Amino acid sequence: MNEFSNNAKEAFGGDTENKKMIAGILAIVIGSLGVHKFILGYNKEGIIQIIATIVTCGIAGIIPFIEGIIYLTKTDEEFYNTYQVGKKGWF
């Protein structure tokens, strides 16, 4: 296991790939509920996602679908650097 893997495990509190997979799949399947945002620790963004989905009658559900695809196509290191270190809440 390389140094990145060890650091990522410590930062995520578990396996980096599992967190990425869980967030990506939840974003695609039930993203309009903002669950993937809460998984990543973005509570404000999760609440915004829920409100946007309600206000737009579900049209805002396309945003988490796109995010889920982005999460799943990033490498573990890119995902970690973007969403855990960089704290990028959207796209």
| 26-63 residue pLDDT tens | 999 999 999 999 999 999 999 999 999 999 998 998 99
Inter-axis angle of helices 62-73 and 16-30, nearest 10:
160
Q: Kindly report the pTM of this predicted structure.
A: 0.78
- Determine the straight-line distance between the first and last CA of the chain, rounded to whole angstroms: 29
| Contact criterion met (CB below 8 Å) for 91 and 45 | no
